[in-house]
Structure 1
């Protein structure tokens, strides 16, 4: 079964996520990359225990000082803070990241999910709707399956699960000849979407 980053929420059901941490591409500072990779390794081998996540975040803090422009460092730190239940701290990191990367729907949606966890449902819904506009525009331009998955989850957030499923069913025909994309969509429908909800999306 394929695993998806749900990010930042979904940081990657489609390139950006809270649920699984990311390895940095080669174009970034090598010292920061090494610290990030060490952090990811420690958290993974430690089973995401509190001790391993605290140590991982110390390494990520050092990496951020070296390369404050690298969104992956923030993404990983936010993921670990969420797994420790430190949503206020994660929210602060998200707001820093939003200044580094503007108008990224996964970041905006993640901000909304953290607000939701902290009890501010009205502001969370504003973020969800803002992210929806961006996801929809991106999907209409690219028709990539990852964008459809993001859009479907976001539709669940602002409407309901039935509407999200209807969206997927309506768009499935686009991927009938693209076996890889069709498999990704099928896996999302069968294994991920039935389990994910607004309360656990940051923790998958």
Structure 2
């Protein structure tokens, strides 16, 4: 396996792991067993489009404007430091259970529109994919393998979350589980930021 695939997978997985509105929605759909495949596929394909755009577009742009990669790398590190701090704060304060409410089942159309909105209307997704993944991919000679790793991470995560949610129901009924996860995500973000800063 190409050496750029695993770093791409690791970065993509760690970025998408953060609990946000999109992941909470996928988790709820999975726990309710409601349009799970369609929701997971919609989120994963949306991520794939953005990741490919980031890897391809940023790579070409970085060659044309040499200083842009360094600027984006430090900008990405700053974003990750702040993002990690927010997750650590959430872990410290304690999270609320996402399983407290169970809405009525919805028709497929509204469910997919919600999944698309939570993806494409989230400003963080553009920073994660077009900027951060795009800038880190420029460090590798084989950007295609790096991007493929990040795309594979998205599919793995979303389908794992959607279909694995029913197994996690007893665990994530307790706020303490969200605290542990948020803390782990925050530390991961800081580790990636540190690596970007010492490149």
Q: TM-score normalized by structure 2?
A: 0.26
Q: TM-score normalized by structure 1?
A: 0.26
